[in-house]
Every structure is written in C-alpha cells, then in structure tokens.
C-alpha cells in the first residue's frame, strides 16, 4: 500500500512540474513571438485576448503556430524524456560534492536526478517571468491597474455640459484614419527618420496645410499615450478624448451589452447636431469592437467587408489581407460620399485604411513593386501615398469639397520594427493634417505638445464649432491657445495617471 501511495505521489509531482514547464515554455514562446511581430504593449495583448476576434487576419494565427509550436513540442518531448529517464535510471552509484563557504555538501546520484526536472521546470518558469517583466513591465501594469487616480475628476470636460456652439453653415466631415501612419516614414530633411521620403505627398500636404506639431518645413505629430496604441483604442482616444482604460479583469466588449454606454464622443455630438454618419473599413467591423463603438455612439451606418459583398462592390468569394484592399476602399468611399452628398443633412464619413497594417503591409495590384527593389513596407507606403493623392484630387472636383473639412490622422505608431527599429518612442509621432479648416490656429503649430486625446475637440473646432473652455474629454482644442494636458502636466505624469483605474471613468464611460 505504501509503495502504491509512493508511486502515486511521484506521478502527481511529475505531472505538476511537467505542466509548469509546458505552460512556461508556451507562454515564453508566444511572448517572444508577439513582441517580435507586433511590439505590442501589455494592455493591447489583454484587450485582444478579451475582445471579439472576428475579422482578424488569419495569417497571424498560422504564423504564430508555425513559429511557436515547434520549440514548444521539441522542448516538451525533451522534458518528458528527462522525467522518464530520471524515473527509470535514478539509482546511479555516484555522488556530487559541493563546497559552499566552509561547508561541504554531499548529494547522492538519486537525489540529484530526482531534483533535476524540478530545477529545469522552475528555471523555465523564472526565465519566462524575467522576459515578461523586462519586455512588458508586468509589475508596473498590474500596479497601475490596481491603483486609483482622480485625474478624470480633475480634468475631464463633459461634452454634454460644454454647450458647443454650431457654425452658422454646418460643414461636412471626411475623416481618414491612416493605419499605422507616423511621421518617421518621411526623410530626415523633413523631420522623418528615413534616407528617402516614402510619403512625399502626405509630407507636402501636412507642410502646406494645418498640421499640429509641424512647421513649414518639418513634420511633427501627436505623441502616443499608453492604452491608445492599437486601432480601437486609438479611434476611441481621438474621437472621445480618453484612453482605453477598462479594468484588466473585465471586457467592455463582452461583459457589457454596449461599448461604453455612457461615453460621449464626436459621433454623439454630431448626431445631436443632425449629421448623417458612416464608418467605412475594408475588414470585418466586429473586430476590436468597431461595429459596437460606431453604431452605438452617433448612429453611424457601418460599412465593412460584409457590406461590400451585400452591395455587390466585391464578389462573394473575394478576400485578401483583412478583407479587401485600400484601392477598393477608396473607390467605395467615392460612391458613399456621392450618396451622402445627395442627402439633406450634413454628413460625417469616417474611414480606416488597412494596407499599411502590421506585419509588413500588403502589396496590392496598384503598387509599384520595382521602385524599392521588393522591399515590402516602402512599396506599400508609396502605394498608399499615391492613392491618397488620387482620392483627394477626386474630392477637390466634387461639389461637396468646399464645404467639407478633411482630416487625415494616423491611428497609432507602427507595431512591427519595419523602418522604425531602434527609433525612440518620443520621436515616433502620429501623423495629422487638416484640409479646409474653418479657422486658423491661434498659436504656431510648430512645437505644440499633444496626444490623440486632443483630436476630439480639435476636429470639431476645425469644422467651425465653438467650444467654450476649449476642452472636451481629456483633450484640448489645438486651434486655441489653451495648453494641452501634456503641456500643462508633462507627458510622464499624464501617461502614468491615465493607466490607473478611476471611479469617475467607471461611472461615466461604462
């Protein structure tokens, strides 16, 4: 009976340490792959785990399996063989002597082998924890999520209480979010980080129109904050003036019936002003909660990959990249703008490109594959740059153009290392440019320190709306002389506080 209990104890012990080893190895492999591909922050990883994955590019899943599965399987087999070896050959007649300070320790071969798998298992767990901490700063993430802040109580400006004044002649809004578009893609002469300018049209466009943070010759842009570095959070930051800071033990997309039911943003403001609104993207809008966010905040019509099939804009079996490429997106946008302009109400068309998405970007038939010798991202950026130029040239010829404010924004900095490897985060600014603004900035645009949060009131101001106090959400109207929160509080303080939990956030944005 004792022998049977002993074998059972050994089996359970082996199983526990086998599970620890496999779990640690799997987690470590996935963590290394995620960082090498996306350079994602921990908040984004937690969001992705909890959010709907409908519409995600399936290539990421297959790439993850191809990269992570072999080392996990190989390591698991080796560890299993080690355990079997120890159980079968643990009576070797040898001893190990260790001198520790003035004491000499003697280990039998049996004890050494018995503890070897334990040491390997715990060692793998420690290495995984060390990598996770040094790469993702897990302790800081947990600490801030368990901390409380009053920064929203102190600085949040309620849009519903702002008494926003509409212009006498309402202007349309065309807001183009450019996936992963940052100013580092320009050349060094114009403030970028490249030897060659991969976005020459976008560079000239910003330097000759309203672009905050830019001068007449040097590109500038928005500084990226934590919890605004992936598409959903970036859209939320620039349209609602707050970061995505929902608790790590909950998901606003799965736990609640709506995405931030009490949240006020550009969509709710323009909806109350009588605007017809539409969100257009070339993928499944359910991915990341975009369908919920736009349809529930401003009554947007959401036009996505499946809508394009229903409308006959693409064949039923058509699917590339995340759904359909930007060349088709711009063609559909032309059709939707023409339709919206025939309505009796001012319109807001917000659209999101996708070809420059991580990883590396997507080369479509419209791209010039010879220009950069087969380099993927430079080719895609050049392609995107030319498509935007052609699309805006078309817009200038339309009857709605003169009465339409056009805003071009990067959603967040690039997630992989293409063209940005080794560039400090503070030098990687998110692109912005406003055409046909209804007013001129009070202060010079050069040198303004701001974040995506400031685009909420700034976009409305660019359309001619007057905002008493110059602030909405956590953002400041950049057309005014009022300091932004970055300018008033400093970037480090603001970024730390906005990662903490807030009772005000819970009561007003859930």
Q: Between 313 and 252, name the one with better pLDDT.
A: 313
Nearest Cα to Cα of residue 57 among 411, 410, 359? 359
Average pLDDT value over all residues in the chain: 89
Of 7-11, 365-369, 396-400, the least confident = 7-11
Q: How far apart are CA 227 and CA 246, in angstroms?
A: 10
Q: HSE-up of 24 (CA within 13 Å, CB side)?
A: 20
Q: How far apart are CA 249 and CA 109, in angstroms?
A: 46
DSSP percent split of the chain into helix, strand, coil, nearest 5: 45, 15, 40
Alpha helices in 39-108 (DSSP H): 42-50, 58-88
DSSP letter for 345, please: S
pLDDT band at 136 (very low <50, low <70, confident <90, very high): confident
Last residue of a domain, one of 136, 155, 189: 136
Please check whether residue 413 lies inside any domain of the structure.
Answer: no
From the number of C-beta atoms within 10 Å of its C-beta (0-12, 13-18, 19+), residue 61 rates as exposed
Last residue of a domain, one of 136, 157, 185: 136
Return the structure tokens found at 424: 């400090």
User: Do residues 115 and 250 share a domain?
Assistant: no
Token pair 């050069």 is found at 446
pLDDT higher than 90, residue 475: yes
Q: Between 28 and 430, name the one with better pLDDT.
A: 430
User: Do residues 253 and 323 share a domain?
Assistant: yes
pLDDT higher than 50, residue 145: yes
User: Do residues 44 and 119 share a domain?
Assistant: yes
**pTM (2 decimals)?**
0.87
**Predicted pLDDT at 439:** 97
Contact 182, 419 (CB under 8 A): no
User: Looking at the DSSP assignment, which residues form a beta bridge with residue 176?
Assistant: 351, 408
Does residue 359 have a cis bond before it (omega within 30 degrees)?
yes
317-340 pLDDT, tens digit per residue, is 999 999 999 999 999 999 999 999
Average pLDDT, stretch 353-361? 93
Return the structure tokens found at 166: 């509409």
User: Do residues 117 and 187 share a domain?
Assistant: no
User: Do residues 214 and 128 share a domain?
Assistant: no
Nearest Cα to Cα of residue 356 among 175, 180, 177, 186? 180
pLDDT band at 34 (very low <50, low <70, confident <90, very high): confident
Please check whether residue 278 lies inside any domain of the structure.
Answer: no
Please check whether residue 302 lies inside any domain of the structure.
Answer: no
Q: How far apart are CA 153 and CA 140, in angstroms?
A: 23
88-103 pLDDT, tens digit per residue, is 765 555 555 555 555 6
**Predicted pLDDT at 38:** 73
pLDDT higher than 70, residue 368: yes
pLDDT higher than 50, residue 312: yes
Last residue of a domain, one of 136, 165, 187: 136
Q: What is the dihedral of CA 362, 363, 365, 369, to 10 degrees?
A: 170
Which positions ≥6 away from 231 have C-beta within 8 Å?
A: 179, 288, 290, 352, 411, 412
Q: How far apart are CA 154 and CA 337, in angstroms?
A: 40
Strand segments, DSSP code E, in 121-274 are: 172-178
User: Do residues 120 and 218 share a domain?
Assistant: no
Please check whether residue 507 lies inside any domain of the structure.
Answer: yes
Biggest alpha carbon–alpha carbon distance for the chain: 95
Q: Where in the sequence is the domain holding 213, given as residue range(s)?
A: 177-272+313-350+362-398+449-510
Average pLDDT, stretch 43-62? 64
Q: Provide φ and ψ at 437, rounded to 5°.
A: -65, 145
Please check whether residue 71 lies inside any domain of the structure.
Answer: yes
User: Do residues 122 and 252 share a domain?
Assistant: no
The whole-angstrom distance between residue 211's C-alpha and the CA centroid of its chain comes to: 22
Please check whether residue 104 lies inside any domain of the structure.
Answer: yes
Q: How big is the chain by its Cα radius of gyration, in Å?
A: 27
Return the structure tokens found at 97: 């002597």
What's the number of domains the chain is made of? 2
User: Do residues 72 and 206 share a domain?
Assistant: no
Q: Provide φ and ψ at 178, rounded to 5°.
A: -100, 115
Return the structure tokens found at 298: 């401003």
Average pLDDT, stretch 394-418? 96
pLDDT higher than 80, residue 276: yes
Please check whether residue 439 lies inside any domain of the structure.
Answer: no
Q: How far apart are CA 439 and CA 302, in angstroms?
A: 30
pLDDT higher than 60, residue 21: yes
56-72 pLDDT, tens digit per residue, is 555 666 777 888 889 99
Q: How far apart are CA 265 and CA 232, in angstroms?
A: 14
Alpha helices in 169-230 (DSSP H): 200-207
Nearest Cα to Cα of residue 47 among 267, 279, 293? 293
Token pair 């996990």 is found at 72
Please check whether residue 441 lies inside any domain of the structure.
Answer: no
User: Do residues 67 and 189 share a domain?
Assistant: no
pLDDT higher than 50, residue 1: no
- As a whole number of Å, the end-to-end CA separation of the chain is 59
Q: How far apart are CA 412 and CA 430, in angstroms?
A: 6
Q: What is the dihedral of CA 434, 436, 438, 443, to 10 degrees?
A: 40
User: Do residues 126 and 182 share a domain?
Assistant: no
Nearest Cα to Cα of residue 185 among 461, 485, 420, 465? 420
**Predicted pLDDT at 14:** 82
What percentage of the chain has pLDDT greater than the value 70?
A: 88
User: Do residues 96 and 22 share a domain?
Assistant: yes
User: Do residues 195 and 246 share a domain?
Assistant: yes
């Amino acid at each position: 009976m004792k022998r049977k209990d002993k074998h059972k104890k050994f089996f359970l012990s082996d199983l526990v340490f086998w599970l620890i080893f496999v779990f640690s190895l799997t987690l470590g492999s996935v963590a290394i792959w995620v960082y090498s591909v996306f350079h994602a922050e921990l908040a984004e990883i937690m969001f992705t785990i909890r959010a709907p994955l409908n519409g995600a590019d399936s290539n990421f899943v297959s790439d993850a399996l191809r990269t992570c599965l072999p080392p996990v399987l190989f390591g698991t087999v080796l560890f299993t063989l080690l355990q079997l070896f120890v159980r079968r050959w643990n009576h070797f007649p040898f001893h190990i002597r260790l001198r520790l300070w003035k004491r000499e320790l003697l280990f039998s071969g049996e004890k050494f082998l018995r503890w070897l798998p334990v040491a390997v298992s715990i060692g793998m767990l420690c290495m995984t924890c060390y990598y996770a901490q040094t790469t993702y700063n897990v302790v800081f993430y947990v600490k801030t999520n368990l901390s409380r802040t009053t920064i929203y109580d102190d600085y949040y400006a309620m849009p519903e209480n702002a008494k926003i004044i509409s212009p006498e002649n309402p202007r349309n809004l065309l807001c183009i979010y450019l996936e992963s578009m940052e100013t580092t893609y320009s050349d060094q002469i114009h403030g970028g980080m490249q030897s060659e300018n991969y976005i020459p049209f976008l560079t000239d466009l910003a330097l000759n129109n309203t672009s905050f943070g830019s001068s007449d010759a040097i590109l500038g842009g928005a500084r990226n904050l934590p919890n605004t570095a992936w598409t959903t959070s970036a859209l939320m930051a620039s349209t609602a003036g707050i970061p995505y800071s929902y608790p790590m033990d909950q998901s606003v997309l799965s736990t609640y019936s709506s995405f931030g039911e009490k949240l006020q943003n550009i969509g709710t403001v323009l909806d109350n002003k009588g605007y017809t609104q539409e969100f257009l993207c070339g993928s499944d809008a359910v991915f990341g909660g975009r369908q919920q966010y736009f349809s529930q905040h401003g009554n947007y019509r959401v036009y996505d990959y499946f809508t394009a099939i229903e409308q006959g804009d693409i064949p039923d079996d058509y699917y590339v990249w995340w759904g359909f490429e930007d060349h088709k997106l711009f063609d559909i946008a032309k059709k939707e703008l023409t339709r919206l302009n025939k309505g009796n109400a001012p319109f807001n068309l917000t659209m999101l490109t996708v070809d420059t998405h991580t990883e590396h970007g997507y080369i479509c038939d419209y791209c010039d594959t010879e220009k950069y010798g087969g380099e993927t991202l430079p080719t895609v950026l050049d392609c995107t740059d030319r498509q935007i130029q052609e699309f805006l040239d078309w817009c200038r010829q339309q009857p709605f153009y003169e009465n339409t404010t056009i805003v071009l924004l990067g959603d967040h900095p690039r997630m992989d290392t293409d063209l940005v490897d080794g560039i400090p985060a503070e030098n990687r600014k998110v692109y912005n440019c406003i055409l046909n603004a209804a007013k001129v900035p009070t202060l010079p645009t050069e040198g303004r320190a701001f974040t995506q949060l400031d685009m909420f009131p700034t976009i409305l101001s660019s359309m001619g709306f007057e905002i008493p106090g110059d602030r909405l959400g956590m953002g400041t109207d950049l057309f005014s002389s009022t300091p932004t929160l970055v300018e008033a509080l400093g970037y480090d303080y603001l970024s730390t506080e906005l990662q903490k939990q807030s009772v005000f956030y819970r009561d007003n944005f859930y």
